[in-house]
Structure 1
């Protein structure tokens, strides 16, 4: 007999053939593995993701969107998959902007163990990193169902001491929404971020999120340029300050505006009453030739730090990158592509392993730059 283990909830099942679904949590057989093959390290998780995502993503050591990467070779006339829009300049700009940031190595001072804990909108986190609002993972070789992907992110983040944000894509609807369904099944905090659909549809989705106990809701404003939504005739819209005010006033929850890349847009969001401004160029997937998120973050932070919560994503791959974003002005950092790979590689187990690795390296980076708490991080640790 073979012992099978669900990478979503760790339930084990003893039988000859692989179970069709988990007897405990209902996850399907794509996230149920022979216990002998359960990955225990991040390298093993990424190895499984590389096999499952063949043709879309090779889980390279450097996820930078260069022309030699399989994801970017799909850019011309094909769905962008894991890549960036156009020639991928925005994707690469995210990575290059972070590569250009340098730390001051500080080794003289009192010995302390860095404390990475923090609070996001009243929820205590073990470290200031959350999963970004990705969606559509089941369309990558059908390696994981969309419901299990959403559950893996939510549960894996919770197990690692943080929160998963959940996204929106062309096959999500108010009546059939994997993200909201996963939030209900898991029963733990998660932050739904919706595409900029019509105001009425958004209000309905926001109300559903409220009923599920979400700590916040938001709109992916740069999703107005989503190529996949356009390809499937799903209407998305630019939002005015008036539109944002209407959405902010339609909910009792803190409202998040994601996809902000200019001071002007950030100020408009603050004027509308937004509580969280999320600096992001959508992973370089909606407009080519933008700056990297880390390039524009300091100017936005200079204008709005302390008035709103600032999150940032784009090119973040390591705990060192997390510390760079925090030093440049972010209050919290989001991870996108790496979380997809982790979930595809080993369900919620993979997400937990990845997030715990990020926290470990962040803590090391803080130690080597002489920072003992998240509140102490600022640009003084940068060269």
Structure 2
């Protein structure tokens, strides 16, 4: 008799042969492990993801969209998969913008343990990192069932002490929506982000989110150029300020305006009633040659001040990157591609392990820059080449 482990719901079973399906959560055999083979490290999770995503993603430590990476070679002139659109300049620009930023190391003072706790839309979190609104894992080599992917992201996020966003794509429908199916299974502990569909369709989706007890909802405003949605009979549209105001007034759920890269448009969203502005270029997947998110983030924060909560994503791979985004003006940071790999590799377990790793490196980064808690973090921990020596160190 062998013991088997479901990586989506953590249940264990005794069977001679590998179960075809988990009798608790309906996860299929792809997410069930012999107890002796359950991954014990993040590297083992990544190895499993590499095998499942062969030819699509090699799980490189430096996920930056360079042409020596499988994802970007495959993306040029083909469906983009996990790569960036066009020549991948926006994808690379996100990583390059973060890479240019350097942290000031501070080692003198009383010893302390960094406090990473925070809140996001009145939800208490153990650290300000959220799983971003990715979708479509089912179409990557049929790596895993889409609803199980969404469920793994939501459960793994909750178990790690944070909350997950869920996305939307061309095979999600009003009647069969893996994101909302997962929200229901997780008792609403998550935030659905919808493509900019017609107002009537969005209102129907919002009502479902309300029924399932979701904490908020959002619109991928930068998804308005998605050709694959229209190709499959699910058209998307640019949204006006009036459209946003209409959706905000339709529900009591907080609204997240995702995909903002221009300061004036961030302010317009805030004035229209958005609770959160998500600074994002969609991981470099909708328009080539945009600035990196880390370049635009401080400009957007300066424009909107404290009118709204700000999230940022794009090129974030470590807790050190998270700290940089927080110092540039983000209230919370989103992770995309790494969460896909973690979920594909080991379901809920993989997502939890990855997020816990990010939390660990964030705490290390805070400790080494003298930041005792999240509220303390600001631009003074960033080295500024444009200031002379006296101006730079006057911050201290």
- TM-score, normalising length: structure 1: 0.99
* Structure 1 segment 156-195 matched on structure 2, within 5 A: 156-195=156-195
Does the 8 Å contact 1:260/1:278 carry over to 2?
A: yes
Cα pair 2:94 2:292 within 8 Å, conserved: yes
Cross-structure match for 2:130: 130
Name the CA distance, whole Å, in 2 between partners of 1:176 and 1:195. Answer: 15
Farther off after superposition, 3-12 or 197-206: 3-12
- Kept in 2, the 8 Å contact 1:132–1:164? The answer is yes
- In 1, Cα distance between the equivalents of 2:173 and 2:52? 27
Q: Which moved more, 1:68-77 or 1:236-245?
A: 68-77
Report the counterpart of residue 328 of structure 2 in structure 1. 328
CA deviations on 1:91-137 (whole Å, 9 max, x unpaired) are 00000000001000000111110000001111100000000000010
Q: Which residue of structure 1 lines up, in the alignment, with residue 244 of structure 2?
A: 244
Q: Aligned residue for 1:291?
A: 291
| Residue in structure 1 matched with residue 59 of structure 2 by the alignment | 59
Separation (CA, whole Å) in 1 of partners of 2:111 and 2:12 = 43
- Contact 2:39–2:346 (Cα < 8 Å) also in 1: yes
**Which sections of structure 1, spanning at least 5 residues, go unmatched?**
none
Instruction: Name the structure 2 match of 1:221.
Output: 221
CA distance in 1, matches of 2:169, 2:270: 26
TM-score normalised per structure 2: 0.95
* Counterpart secondary structure, 1:209: helix
Which deviates more from structure 2 when the two are superposed, residues 114-123 or residues 71-80?
Answer: 71-80
Is there any run of 5+ residues in structure 2 with no aligned partner, and where?
384-396
The within-5 A match list for 1:109-148 is: 109-148=109-148
Q: Which residue of 2 aligns with 1:151?
A: 151
Residues 1:232 and 1:77: Cα distance change in structure 2 (over 3 Å): farther
Q: Return 35-44 or 228-237, whichever deviates more.
A: 228-237
1-structure distance, mates of 2:250, 2:371: 40
Return the alpha-carbon distance in structure 1 between the equivalents of residues 70 and 368 of structure 2.
35
> How far is the alpha carbon of 1:274 from its aligned partner?
0.5
Moved over 3 A (4+): none
Aligned residue for 1:356? Answer: 356
The 5-angstrom pairing of residues 303-342 of structure 1 reads: 303-342=303-342
Tell me what 1:264 maps to: 264
- Number of residue pairs matched by the alignment: 383
1:23 maps to 23
| Structure 1 residue 143, shift from structure 2 partner | 1.2
Stretch moving more, 126-135 or 3-12: 3-12
Aligned 8 A contact 1:227 1:286 in 2: no
**1:201-232, Cα deviation, whole Å (9 max, x unpaired):** 00110111011111111100000012432443
Confirm or deny: 8 A CA contact 1:257 1:278 kept in the other structure.
yes
> Once structures 1 and 2 are overlaid, which stretch shifts more, 71-80 or 373-382?
71-80
Deviation at 1:305, TM superposition (A): 3.0
1:35 Cα deviation after fit: 1.0
Residue 74 (structure 1) aligns with: 74
Structure 1 CA distance, aligned partners of 2:168 and 2:15? 37
Superposed displacement of residue 182, structure 1: 0.7
Q: Is the 8 A contact 1:305 1:329 kept in 2?
A: no
